[in-house]
Chain A
Amino acid sequence: MLISMNWIGDFVDLSGLDLPALIQRFTLSTAEVEEIMEMGRGLRDVVAGKILSVENHPDSKKLHLLKVDGGDKIYDVVCGAPNVREGLVVPFVKEGGMAAGQEIACAKIAGYESHGMCCSEHELGISADHSGLMELPEDTPIGRDITEIYAIRDTVFEVDNKSLTNRPDLWGHYGIAREFAALTGRELRPLETVALEAFDGLDPIDIKIEDPDLCLRYTGLKVRNIKKKVSPVNMRIRLFYCGSRAINLLADLTNYLMLEMGQPMHAFDCAKVDRIEVKRFPEPFRFTTLDGVDRQVDENTLMICSGGKPVAVAGIMGGLDSEIEDDTDSLLLESANFDAPSVRRSSTRLGLRTDASMRYEKTLDPEMTVPAIGRFLKLLLDIDPEAQAVSRLTDVYVKHYPAVSLTFDKAYVDRYTGIEIGNDRILDTLRSLGFGAQCQGNSFTVEVPSWRATKDVTIKADIIEEITRIYGYDNFAVSTTVSPLYPQKKSPQNKADNFVKDILVQRYGLHEVHSYIWEDAKACRELGLAPVENVRLLNAQTPDHETLRRSMGPTLLGCVQANRAYGAEFGVFEIGRVCEGLDEEGLCRERKKLGLALFSRVRSEKELYFQLLGILKDLAQSVKRADLAFANGEALYDWQHPRNTAFFSCGGEELGWLCAVKPSVVRRIDKKAAVVCAQLDMDAFAALAPQDLSYREPSRFPGIDMDLSLLLPDGMRYADMEPAWAGAGPELAGVSLIDSFTQNGRRSLTLRFAFSSQEKTLSKEEVQPVVDGIVEMLAAAGAALRG
C-alpha cells in the first residue's frame, strides 16, 4: 500500500521532522516499508504559462509555434500537443528547467528553436494522462511555480501489504496517521465529517439483509443534484500517488475515502439502484462485474441486489449495469461491513482480488461505516456545495463485536519485556494509539478501540506488543536468562544421523545430497522405472510430482544418472523421508531412511556390491557395535536386480536392503557403468540399543596362522561353512578371507585361521588337531581342501 505523507499531514502535524527517518521508525514499530519515493523532485522551473499565440508549423501538421508568457518573459516554443490554443494556461517548463527528471534545453525542432516545453499531467508525474497539455484554470497566476499551485511535492512510501495482514486499521491513511502520532507524540486530529443527524427527517432507504451471517452492517445514504464531474487536481494527485486511477468525481471520492479511512465504499447510480437486498442466490448465475468480465457466481457468494436483481458482488466489485457514469447526478452510497472469510473465499473463487476485498479480508471495524459516510459527504460538499442528501442515513447493524476490556499489572509487563518501562509511558503509549487506559497503583485497565477489537487485540499479550513496539525494540537492553541450565543429551536419532554422515563422508568419500519427498515421475520414466503406487498430493505443481516416494532408490538412481559425468566413480547418499503407504488409522507411514548409491565405470558391479555391503556392516559396527545379518531375497521393486537383492537385519530387526540394479536400468544410467544401491531404515537403526564393547586382553604371546584353501560345492555360501569352526575353542581368535576365485566353474576360498593363547606361545603341533577337526567338518559339509 502506498502512503502519501502530504495526506498524513492532514491528520497529524509532522512539520520540522526528518520524514525519511520517521518512515524508518515506522518500519521498526509498525510495518515494513519497502520503498520511499520523493515525488515532484524531477521538476524545476515549471510555472503556469499562458499561450499567447499559436501558429501552424509550415512543414508539419502536428507541430505548432507558440509564444508562451512565462511570467518573466515571452518564450518561443515548438509544441506538438493536440489541444494547444490561444489563451490556454498550461504548466510550462522554462528553458534550463526540468520535467520528469529531464532537463529542457534550447532545442531546434523541425527547423525552429524551442525555448521551453508545455507539459501534460504525465510529464509532471501526476497522472498517466499524456493525451494533451494539462489545462490550468484561467485565473492561475502566470509565472507561479507549479509546485506552489498544486501539492506535487510529496514523500510517498510503500508498505508491504503482508505486514499489514493483522492490522485492519492500517488500510487507510488515517490509521497510519495514528501510528505517526503515537511515534512522535503529536496530536491526531479528528476527521472532519458532516453531522448526519440533520437528515433524520427524510425517508430511509429500503435495506434488507437476508444473510445476516455474512453481512455485519449495511449503511446507506442517497445524494442527488451532483453537478461536478471532475475531481480537484490535488485529490487526483493523491489518488495517483497512491496507485489509484482518477475516473470521475464520484468514483474518485469512493476510492479516496477507502484510501483515507480504509472503508471500501460503493456508489450506485440511484436511477438504477434505489433499494438494497443483501443475499445469496440459490443457484449459480452469470454476472458482469464493472471490469467488463462476465463471471460465474455460485450460491456461496454474497451479492448486493436491488429489486431482486444483482448489482454488486458484496465487498468485491460492483456490476457493470449499475456503474456510475459521467452523467450520473444522484447516487446511493454504500458503506458496509461483510464477513471477512466469506469475502476472501468468494474473491478466491472468482479469481478477483480488489482493493475492497483485500480490506474486507482483514476484518474491518464495522463502526467505521457511518463516519465514512459523514466524511464522504463532507468531501463532496466541499467540492460540490449544491449536492443534497435525499434520504436519511439508513443503518442496518446486524452484528456488533463485543467491547474488549483487558486488565493486567505492571509485573506482567516487566516479565514479558525484561526491561523497565514506566507506568506513565505505558499509559501514554496506549492512549496515543486510541486505547482507553487507566492505571491504579500497578494495575492497568485497558479498553480496546473498536478498530483494533475485531480480531487484532484480544488478549493482554497483544497489549505488550503495543507497548513494546512503540517503545522501540532497538531501545531494549539485551540480557541473558536467569533460568538454570541442565545437561542436554543428544537424542539417539540425532547421534545416529550425524555418525552415519561422518562415516560415509570421511571414511568412504561419499557425497551427501538432498532431494524431494515425492517421486520424480519424469526422471523415473527416463530410467525405465515403473511408477509406484503411493499416497498422492492433492495439489502438486505437476502430476509428475504428485506421488510420495516409497523408497530412496529412484531418487538416488536419478541423482546418479544426472551426475554420471562427475567422475569415473562416486557415491551419493541422503537421509530423507519416505512414505510406506497408510497405516490402520489412515495416516502416512513416514519413515526416515538412509539411501546410498555407488557408481563406477572402473570397478565391477561385484566390487561395488561388496564395498556397499562393507559400508553397511561398518555403519552397524561403528554406530551400534552390532553385526548385521544378510540374506538374499526377492526384489521389492522392478528396477532391483532379481538375483542380487539382499535384505539385512540386526538382532531380528529388519533394517533395509542392498541391491544391484537391473541391467536395463543400469544401461540407461550409463552404458559402461556399474551401479549398486542400498537403503537403511534410520528410525529402526537409531532405536537399536548399542552393544557394549567387550574388551579382550591382547595376548602377550605370538600367535600362529593356519591357511586353508577350499573348493566349494555349488550353492555353498560362506555362512554354510561357519559351523565348522564354531566350536573350535577360545584359541581360535579370528577367521579372515585371504583369497577368492572361481576356476572351472567352482568357487575357491582361502581362509586364514588365527590362533593365539593367553598363556603360552602356540606351536603348530598344538593347533593342528583343531585345524584337522575343522577340515573334517568342512569336508562333511562338502568343502574339500584344494589339492
Chain B
Amino acid sequence: MKEKIEALRQSFEQELQKAASSDAVEKLRVAYLGKKGSVTELLKGLKDVSAQEKKELGQHVNQLKKQVEENLARQVEAIQAAEEQREIDSAEQYDVTLPTAGAKGSYHPITIVQRQLEEIFVSMGFTVEDYPEIVTDYECFEAVNVPKDHPARDMQDTYYLENGQLLKTQTSAAQNAILRKYGAPCRAIFPGRCFRNEATDASHENTFFQMEGVMVDKDISISNLIYFMKTMLSEVFERDVKVRLRPGFFPFVEPGFELDINCLICGGEGCSTCHHSGWVELCPCGMIHPNVLKMGGVDPEEYTGFAFGLGLTRLVMMKYGVKDIRDLNSGNLKALGQFVHE
C-alpha cells in the first residue's frame, strides 16, 4: 500500500507538470480527488486493512490528499495569473489625449465672482440681500443724501421711466431699505444690476453689476473699513493685494474714499490697464453719512458704519482679463460658454 501511495504521488507530480490550462487542472482534480479518483479510491481501500495499519496508512493517504489539493490550487492560481497577464498584454492602450465629447453648461462670470464674494462676506457675518432694479427717486437719491441738484440726477446719467420711477444707478439705492429692515447693528451685502444712461463701448456699459455692502455698529471705524476691503480683495484674488484709499466724494458717505488696488496686470509697474499709474480704481467706499443713517432710522450719534460699492463687473473683467465689457451682456456663448466651473 505504501508503495502504491508513493507511486501515485509521483505520477501526480508528473501529470501536474503537464497540466497547462485550467481545464487540464480540473481534469487532474477529478482524476485524483473526484468520486472515483485514485486518491479517493485509496481512502476507500483503507477499510480493508487492519486497524493498526489503518492508522499509519491513513496518515500517509491524507498527507497525499492534502498535497494534491494544495498543488492543484497553486497550479490554478499560476495559470489564472498567466491568463490575466496575456489579457493585459493584448489590451488596447487608450489614447488619453483624444478630445472628449460634451460641452458642459456654464455660469455667467458675474455669478461666479458674486458667489465668491457672497461666501466671503457670509463667512464674516454679512447677510445677502436682493433688491429691485426699478426704484423711486427717493430710494435712489433722496434717501442716500444725493441733493436735488446733484449732477447724478441729470437725464444724461439716469434712465427715467415715464411713470416717474427710474432704473437704479447704484446699489446704494437699497441702503435705506436695508437699514430700515435690520436697524443697527447690521451687516449686509446687496449685489445687483445698475444702469447708467451712456453710450456703450469696450469699457462702458449702460447695464452693469455692483455689490454694495454696509456694516453698522457702535464704533465702526475707517480702520475697520480698510481691514474689510483688504481682506475681501485678498480672498477674491487669492493673493495679498495692496490697496490704497484716497479721498473721493460721494453724497452717501462722509468721509468718502476711492479704493484703488495695485494693478494686477503689471503688478504696479504701470501699464495701459492702469493708465501707467500702477493703481486701478475699484471701489468707492466710506463712512456712511450721518444723514443716511438718520433716514434709515439709525442714530448717528450712537452708531457709525461703513459702506462700499464694489464694481462687480469691473472685478470680473480684472479677474478674467475680459477686455470688452459688452461681452458680458452679449449672450454670446463663445465668450460665456467658457465659464464652466463654479
Q: Does B78 contact A (CB under 8 A)?
A: no
A568 to chain B, nearest CB (A): 11
Interface flag for B217 (CB, 8 Å)? yes
Given contacts A29-B247, A515-B329, contact A481 B160 (CB under 8 A): no
Tell me whether B108 and A514 are in contact (CB under 8 A). Answer: yes
A287 interface residue, CB < 8 Å from B? no
Closest to B108 in A: A512
- Does A480 lie within 8 Å of B115, measured CB to CB? no
Whether a CB of chain B sits under 8 angstroms from the CB of A562 is: yes
Cβ of B222 within 8 Å of any chain A Cβ, yes or no, is yes
Known contacts: A478-B230, A481-B215, A563-B332. The answer to whether A511 contacts B154 by CB under 8 A is: no
Contacts of A577 in B (CB 8 A): 132-134, 193
CB under 8 Å from chain A, chain B span 107-137: 107-108, 110-111, 115, 118, 122, 124-130, 132-134, 136
Number of interface residues of B (CB under 8 A): 85
A485 sits at the interface (CB 8 A): yes
Chain B residues lying within 8 Å of A510, measured Cβ to Cβ, are 105
Number of A residues with CB within 8 Å of any CB on chain B:
86
* Interface contact B220-A582, CB-CB below 8 Å: no
Q: Mark A543-587, 1 if CB is under 8 A from B, else 0.
A: 000001000000000110011001100111000010100100011
Q: A469 on the interface (CB 8 Å rule)?
A: yes
Q: With the chains together, A558 CA to B105 CA distance in Å?
A: 19
Among A200-208, A312-320, A368-376, A412-420, the one that faces the other chain is A412-420
Q: Chain A contacts of B1 at CB under 8 A?
A: none
**A131 contacts the other chain (Cβ, under 8 Å)?**
no
- The answer to whether B255 and A512 touch across the interface, beta carbons within 8 angstroms, is no
Provide the residues of chain A in CB contact with B331, threshold 8 Å.
Answer: 513-515, 558-559, 562-563, 572
Contact A501 B111 (CB under 8 A): yes
- In the complex, the answer to whether A539 meets B159 with C-beta atoms within 8 Å is yes
Nearest chain B residue, comparing its CB with the CB of A565 = B334
Whether A302 sits at the interface, judged by CB under 8 Å, is: no
A37 within 8 A of B: no
Q: Are B222 and A163 in contact (CB under 8 A)?
A: no
* Contact partners of B103 in chain A: CB under 8 A: 509, 567, 570
A483-B218, A490-B128 given as contacts; is B329 within 8 A of A32 (CB)?
Answer: no
Interface residues of A in 410-451 (CB under 8 A from B): 415-419
Are B199 and A541 within 8 A (Cβ)? Answer: yes
Please determine whether A505 and B133 come into contact, CB atoms closer than 8 angstroms.
no
Within 8 Å by CB of B163, from A28, A167, A588, lies A588
One of A29, A167, A416, A538 near B160 (C-beta < 8 A): A538
Residues of the A chain whose Cβ atoms lie less than 8 Å from the Cβ of B162: 535-538
**Contact among B195, B207, B219, B275 for A482, CB-based, below 8 A:** B219
What 1/0 flags go to B265-300 for Cβ under 8 Å of A? 000000000010000000000010110000000000
| B197 and A344 within 8 A (CB) | no
Rounded to whole Å, the gap between the CB of A452 and the closest CB of chain B is 13
Contact of A535 among B161, B219, B248 (CB under 8 A): B161
Q: Which of B125, B199, B224, B230 contacts A486 (CB 8 A)?
A: B125
Inside 8 A of A465's CB, which chain B residues have their CB? 247, 254-256
Is A478 within 8 A of B247, CB to CB? Answer: no
A479 contacts B332, CB within 8 Å?
no
Show the binding face of B for A, using Cβ within 8 Å.
Answer: 102-108, 110-111, 115, 118, 122, 124-130, 132-134, 136, 148-149, 151, 154-156, 159-165, 167, 185, 187, 193, 195, 197, 199, 206-207, 215, 217-224, 226-228, 230-231, 244-249, 254-258, 275, 287, 289-290, 304, 328-334, 336-337, 342
A-B contact pairs, 13 of them (CB 8 A): A165-B249, A479-B223, A479-B227, A480-B231, A489-B127, A505-B107, A509-B105, A511-B337, A537-B159, A537-B160, A538-B155, A548-B134, A559-B331
